[in-house]
Chains A and B, each alone.
Chain A
Amino acid sequence: MQLEVRGVTKRFGDKEVLHGINFTVQSGRAMGFLGRNGAGKSTTIRCLMDVFHQDEGGFYIDGQPLDITKYRVGYLPEERGMYQKHTVLEQLVYFAQLRGATRAQALATANYWVDYFELGEYKKKKLETLSKGNQQKIQIAQSFLNEPDILILDEPFSGLDPVNAQVFKDTIARFVSEGKLVIFSSHQMNYVEEICDDVTLIHQGNILLTGDLEQIKRELGQNKLQLRIEGMDDEALADALRAAFPDIITLPHEDGLILDTQSRVTQQQVLDHVNRQGWTIHHYGLYTPSLNDIFIAKVGEQA
């Protein structure tokens, strides 16, 4: 199954917040949807969920226009909220029934996910009596009801402690391995990097990059080295290298200076220069950007 977002534009009054965005999501591959606050992530997701209606463009599944009501969709909205004064199990059963399950199926799936998150003792308690963390788990549980074909999670990790985040990551991995279509937005790059096969970066309503995460890393790391010299600060090193190799571009980085050789300087030339200068290498290697580096670099380019 392939979900295609094709030329989606959304305006609120005179303000255009999505400018004809395009990207695709494959089932069996988790897709991380990244962007700063107000970049357009939640608006895109709400258009996809048919909460908002896009002004132009559309969503397609395997080439056909998407009718979201025809699929079993698990959705975790950015604005968390369920019935505070209703009991945990009865409202999960209610949501499962509204999404097409029979009463018996709804009871089975609700019980399964409450037990899965080790919240069985709270089934008959009102939601408001649970701790914030446990309420968050119930919110997540509701998105997993009825074994969804498509899972759309808006900032799923916010409010989760490390233990629950791990449980959640394992669950997403399970859905991905079962060939489900999974999209989730997040600010937390480490989680996205761990789970996602693909990423899409949105900034001010435009897609900055989209595709396979490893390939993006390789492409963005091409012709880049990372170097740190004992007893020398990165700024002095950058000045020295630029004097020796005028074509080189240097970029500061917390793990050591990044050298973009532009394919005009070889690794050997750099190492020979280090040896000639009698510098002692503290760290040297090919540079592979982290998702965080990619995010900062790409968004920074647009600033």
Chain B
Amino acid sequence: MRDFGIVFKYELRQQLGKRTVQVTTLILVLIALAATSFPRISAMFSSDKDGQAAQADTTLTQDVGYVFADDAQRQAYTDLLGLQEGNHYAARDDLVAALKEKALKVGFVFTGDTSFETIYQDKGMEDRYESVLSQLVSQRHKDALLADKGLTTEDLAAIEAFAPDTTTIVMGKNTENNILLSMVLMVMVYMLVLIYGNTTSTMIAREKDSKAMELLITSTKPTPLILGKVAAAGVSGIVQFGLIVVAALGGFLFSQDYYSPMVRQMLLGSLSQSYILTYLFFSITGYILYLFLYAALGSTVSRVEDVGSATAVVQFIFIAGYVASTFVMNVPNGPVSVATSLIPFTAIMVMPMRAGLATVPAWQMIAAGALMLLTVALFAWLSIKIYRWGSLNYGNKTNIFKVLKEALRPQRRAKA
């Protein structure tokens, strides 16, 4: 226990003391804060923009010419749009001449109450004058039709807005509400395991690469070494991600009034105590399980550059769990979902996802938890054996079965 503490403190200090880790964490914290505060920040800017746009909406008056079909129509649009004398042209030819002289950007020639011709000299990508005028003409036409029936636009809006008075009661979990949060948390676990799993295996491979391992295993036993290293890598990952989560939560709380009610419901809807406990239990134990796997595989290679190929098999298993958890989104209580939530290597992501989207039977939750704890204990023991075996196995190419056979072979001790 004493040596575990020494190894843990030393490795944690090394890990968190790295300038790259500190800078990366700071950048990610700022990004998380900015991303979750975005709705509020965006609202601040967009309200100003809308005001400016309202004040300066001259789309249908500035550099626009009109030829109307008759005087009544001319008067109606002059009142509606606030047209000036300069907007009016007596005939189509006059309008075309003005367009050719670049005095106008666009010209409209009305041929009836609801028909008009649009003439450009040059049309830009963003020029949509005719669609704006079309909406106006349509609205005028709709108003006229409603008026014939003795109705107003407000009357029509009230008719269309009608909805029956219903109440929905969800006895278990509401997938709609919980899916967003479950996905966000799943991606976080995914990143945590991949980043810190690789950090752990690289840390151990580097000790072999630099030949420091022989000094370590002659200074203390392999058990405190591997447990201390895995604990330090695990805690540094949780500290780093914890800071990012706190920043994201802070940003969300700061801006929650600016989130749409639906998004707010999707994010907050799942935050029940039981869900948080389920998520924390399976994520943390599963994370530790993978760190032991990465540590064991890191000690089977002699060079840091071989870590990637040695750990590929674990990454494959882990990614399979990730794929399984996306499958769970559609059928949270299907046979595949149940099976993968019981297998510890996939339960890390599948069980929290299931718990977020559906009601998981208690026996399945207990069985998955027990299996997870047993597997963590088994792989902790195995990783100590593999680490001890791998500590002096330099250069020899090997495979996982050979490693296990050699690592588990009983060793003879000197007898009195």
- Return chain B residues, CB-CB under 8 Å to A79: 211, 214
Bound CA–CA A86/B10 (angstroms): 11
Partner among B218, B221, B411 whose Cβ is within 8 Å of the Cβ of A77: B218
Partner among A55, A59, A73 whose Cβ is within 8 Å of the Cβ of B218: A73
Interface check A163, CB cutoff 8 A = no
- For chain B residues 175-222, which have a beta carbon within 8 Å of chain A? 207, 210-221
Looking at the assembled complex, report how far the CB atom of B386 sits from the nearest CB atom of chain A, in whole angstroms: 16
On whether the beta carbons of B218 and A50 are closer than 8 Å, the reply is yes
- Return chain B residues, CB-CB under 8 Å to A83: 207, 210, 212
Partner among A64, A77, A99 whose Cβ is within 8 Å of the Cβ of B211: A77
- Return chain B residues, CB-CB under 8 Å to A142: 215
Interface check B1, CB cutoff 8 A = no
Looking at the assembled complex, report how far the CB atom of B125 sits from the nearest CB atom of chain A, in whole angstroms: 55
- Return chain B residues, CB-CB under 8 Å to A84: 210
On whether the beta carbons of A82 and B210 are closer than 8 Å, the reply is yes
Interface check A17, CB cutoff 8 A = no
Interface check B414, CB cutoff 8 A = yes
Looking at the assembled complex, report how far the CB atom of B117 sits from the nearest CB atom of chain A, in whole angstroms: 76
Q: Name B18's closest neighbour in chain A (CB-CB).
A: A85
Interface check A299, CB cutoff 8 A = no
On whether the beta carbons of B414 and A58 are closer than 8 Å, the reply is yes
Bound CA–CA A80/B414 (angstroms): 27
Bound CA–CA A65/B415 (angstroms): 7
On whether the beta carbons of B416 and A81 are closer than 8 Å, the reply is no
**A57, A66, A98, A142 — most chain B CB neighbours (10 Å):** A98
On whether the beta carbons of A81 and B215 are closer than 8 Å, the reply is yes
Bound CA–CA A248/B220 (angstroms): 58
Q: Mark B235-249, 1 if CB is under 8 A from A, else 0.
A: 000000000000000
Interface check A95, CB cutoff 8 A = yes
Looking at the assembled complex, report how far the CB atom of B200 sits from the nearest CB atom of chain A, in whole angstroms: 16
Q: Name A68's closest neighbour in chain B (CB-CB).
A: B218
- For chain A residues 70-100, which have a beta carbon within 8 Å of chain B? 73, 75, 77, 79-84, 86, 90, 94-95, 97-99
Bound CA–CA A66/B413 (angstroms): 10
Q: Name B413's closest neighbour in chain A (CB-CB).
A: A53
On whether the beta carbons of A82 and B212 are closer than 8 Å, the reply is yes
**B7, B207, B221, B414 — most chain A CB neighbours (10 Å):** B414
- Return chain A residues, CB-CB under 8 Å to B415: 58, 65
For the complex of A and B, 10 pairs with smallest distance between CB atoms: A81-B211, A58-B414, A98-B219, A53-B411, A79-B211, A77-B214, A98-B220, A81-B212, A81-B210, A97-B6
Could you list which residues of chain B lie within 8 angstroms of chain A, going by C-beta atoms? Answer: 3, 6-7, 10, 14, 207, 210-221, 391-392, 411-416
26 contacts between A and B (CB under 8 A): A46-B392, A49-B218, A50-B218, A51-B214, A51-B391, A51-B392, A53-B412, A54-B414, A57-B414, A58-B414, A58-B415, A64-B416, A65-B415, A66-B414, A73-B218, A75-B215, A75-B218, A77-B214, A79-B211, A79-B214, A81-B214, A83-B207, A83-B212, A86-B14, A90-B10, A94-B6
- A81-B212, A81-B215, A94-B10 given; 6 more Cβ-contact pairs under 8 Å: A69-B221, A81-B210, A82-B215, A86-B14, A97-B6, A98-B3
Could you list which residues of chain A lie within 8 angstroms of chain B, going by C-beta atoms? Answer: 46, 49-60, 64-66, 68-69, 73, 75, 77, 79-84, 86, 90, 94-95, 97-99, 142
